[in-house]
Amino acid sequence: MKMDRSTRFNLRSQNFVMGLILTILLGLAAYASHRHQIRWDWTKGGRHTLAEQSLKAVKAFPEGLTMTVYVQERGDRKPQIQNLMEKYQVANPSLTIRYVDPDLDPAAARQAEVAVYGTVILRTGDKTEKVTESTEEAITNGLIRLSKGSAKTIRFVTGHGEHPLNEGRESGNGQDRFAYTQAKALLKGEGYQIEEINLAEVEKIPENTAVMIVGGPRKTFLPIETLRLKNWYDANGRLLLLLGPDGDAGLESLLKPHGITLLKGVTLDPAAQMLGGSAATPLVSRYPPEHAITKGMSAASIFPDTSGMELEPAPNDGKEQRTPLLEGAARGWLETGDLTSGKVEYNPGEDRKGPILFGAAIQADKKRLVVTANANFLADAYVSALGNADLFLNMVRWLAEDENFIAIKPKEVQDAGLELPGEQALLLFWGLVVLVPMGLLAMGGTIWFKRRRR
């Protein structure tokens, strides 16, 4: 090809135009990446991504939100806190973040009553919420409390041998493993106000009761107690009944109208035993995806010493929705015999073959009811296992009409660091730091020497 002046000019013009187009495209890409931040997190467990509940919580403030973080300017914690704050800001661009060093501006720290480094003040409009821990779970719980405004009250029924809420209560063998101490803390972290109520001592359940919880009664309710609870529920109440092998405690009048019958016996699941647990601790690993309580749940939940229940189909008038929530022991059965006899086996005609229903959700008009055939899954010994805590919180959120916050709670990031014994670490050092570089140098030297001799 003959290169004359015209050809050179055309080639240079084409190169100039292509360079200009490339520069414009790169500029647009840089501008778009600045205005619309996109992240990909390929780490195990998504350690650099906010949990679903955190995303829902921070997106609940489209009108604007301010986070003021009180942390030392040159402290070791600031980079870690900044990284967490940026994740919230990516999820909600209207979020404003301010950093205040309490040592450099003690007047601001005193005015905000900040006494701990890492304290975060959340503010929207004229509402504020203080969080003393700069962790994802603490900040997300603070956002939930801020969005709710006034705290909703949840009352636990007492007087029938229910699981205690008392913090620090001890039994003869030490701390009571079957107390609801951790469950109470979970609810308080969500911004709920927790109180106890004895139905025999009150004439009427307070109107500000958002949810009533009956946690594993061992004694039968008095007729007047049942009547008071039923009257409150019939007036658009929200009720969580955690029952079990001890029976329905005289609450049949609340269960029967919704087609619920509690079954006697204890569910045994050989599959749970194969996984290293007890046959009397069945697992639930599949949930109905269509219900708000279990939508998105993947972690299994365990139910120690659980009975079973029957749920009749809802009437055809469409006024009531009945959802089987928890079902397990597909290869097990509901044992009605004596578990202490030493030999337990399935007896056709006496025992009920699995799968066994453990829980159901009812919605009729504005009334909401959740019933489980187990109350131990919420005890301190089990509530932190697998998905038990998430399941319980989702039940309460749905009952309290806080469905917008139904999601999976933030989990602690597990350290995925590699730890090697001394000999393996030394071998890795000599192999990668010494032998491999020396091998490459030897190979390069050999090639250079051969080429030089040619």
pLDDT number for residue 52: 80
What pLDDT sits at residue 50? 83
Domains of the chain, CATH where assigned: 52-146 (3.40.30.10), 151-405 (3.40.50.880)
Averaged over 304-311, what is the pLDDT? 92
Burial (0-12, 13-18, 19+ Cβ within 10 Å), 314: middle
pLDDT of residue 46: 57
Q: What proportion of the chain, given as a percentage, has pLDDT over 70?
A: 89
Within 10 Å of residue 263's Cβ, how many Cβ atoms? 16
The DSSP code for 399 is: H
223 upstream amide cis, omega within 30 of 0:
no
Q: Where are the alpha helices (DSSP H) in 208-339?
A: 223-234, 252-255, 270-274
Q: What residues contact 401, with CB distance under 8 A and at least 6 apart?
A: 238, 368
Q: What is the pTM assigned to this prediction?
A: 0.69
Residue 116 class from Cβ within 10 Å (0-12 exposed, 13-18 middle, 19+ buried)? exposed
What is the C-alpha separation between 376 and 386, in angstroms, rounded?
A: 14
Predicted local distance difference test score (pLDDT) of residue 170: 44
> What does R_g of the chain's alpha carbons equal in angstroms?
31
Task: Give which of 399, 404, 293, 295 is closest to 61, Cα–Cα.
Answer: 404
- DSSP letter string, 367-387: EEEEEES-SGGGSTTTTTSTT
Determine the pLDDT at residue 172. Answer: 43
Q: So what's the pLDDT on residue 228?
A: 94
Mean pLDDT of 317-328: 90
- pLDDT, tens only, 255-264: 999 999 999 8
Quote the pLDDT of residue 33. 67
pLDDT of residue 396: 94
Give the mean model confidence (pLDDT) for residues 42-71: 80
For residue 174, the model assigns a pLDDT of 42
Range 21-46 average pLDDT: 72
SS3 243: coil
Q: CA–CA distance from 374 to each of 226, 248, 425 (Å)? A: 20, 11, 49
Model pLDDT, residue 273: 73
Confidence band (pLDDT; 50, 70, 90) for 342? Answer: low
Q: Would you state the structure tokens that stand for residue 28, as one six-digit string?
A: 């647009």
Question: For residue 52, with 0-12 CB atoms within 10 Å meaning exposed, 13-18 middle and 19 or more buried, which class applies?
Answer: middle
User: What's the chain's length in residues?
Assistant: 454
388-399 and 181-189 helices cross at what angle (nearest 10)? Answer: 50
